[in-house]
Structure 1
C-alpha cells in the first residue's frame, strides 16, 4: 500500500526512477523511526499528546495548539471504551439541552455574535462557510536559467 501511494504522488517532471527511489528510502527511514504504541488498560498520555500536538500544530498557531492538546486528548479519552480501540469516526455531534460540567471539549457552532440582539426585524443576515484553519504559506523560489541569474520569491497559492 505505501509503495502504491508513492507511485500516485510521484512527480512526472522528474526522472521516472527518482521519485520511487526517494519514496522507498523515505519508507525505509519511517520503518526505522516508527514507535509501536500499545493501548492497554491505561493509554500512554504522553505519546497521545505528542501525536495530537503534531497534528494540531499543522492547523493552528503553536501557542494555541499547545493549549488545545490536553483538551483534545482528554476529550478523546473521555469517550474511549477500555476494551475497544479509539475510533475517531465515532466522535459524535450532540446537542446539549441541559447545563452540566463536561470533561472534554464543547464547540458551539452557530451564526450569532455575543452583541447580537435576540430578536431582529427587517434585517439581512450573511452566513459564510469560511475555513477556520490556519494555513501556513509555502514559498517557492523560482530561478530563471535563461537570461541571467535572476531569482524570484513567490508565495504558493497565488
Structure 2
C-alpha cells in the first residue's frame, strides 16, 4: 500500500507532461488534457486520504503524530522525485541548440511548491488517519 501510494502521489506528473508534449497528433487532445488535468491530481489526493485511513485503521500501536510525521515527508519526497522526472522528460520541439542544463526553474518549482505540498499531504493524511482511528474505535466498541 505504501509503495502504491508513493507512485500515486506524483506519478501523474510525467504522464501529464507526455500527453501535453504529444497533443498535436491526438484528436480531441484538449478534452483529454482537461480530463487528465482534473482526474490525475484528484486521484493523488484521494490516495493520500485512503493511505491515511489505512494507517489509522490497521496500524494501532503507533500514535497518529508519528504515522503522519513519517509518511508526510516520504510522500513529499516522492512528489519531488516525480516532479524531477516530469521536468527531465525531453519534449519534442525543443531544439538541440537550447541548453537546458542551465535552466534552474525545476529546482525553483520544488522550492516554491514543496512546502505547500507537504502541508497538503499532512492535512490529507491527518484526515484519513482520524477517520481510520474512529472506524477502528467503532469496530472495537461493537466487538465488545
Higher RCO (CA < 8 A, seq sep 6+) = 2
Pick the structure with greater CA Rg: 1
Note whether the superposition's TM-score is higher than 0.5. Answer: no
Give 1 or 2: higher helix fraction: 2
TM-score where L is the length of structure 2:
0.24
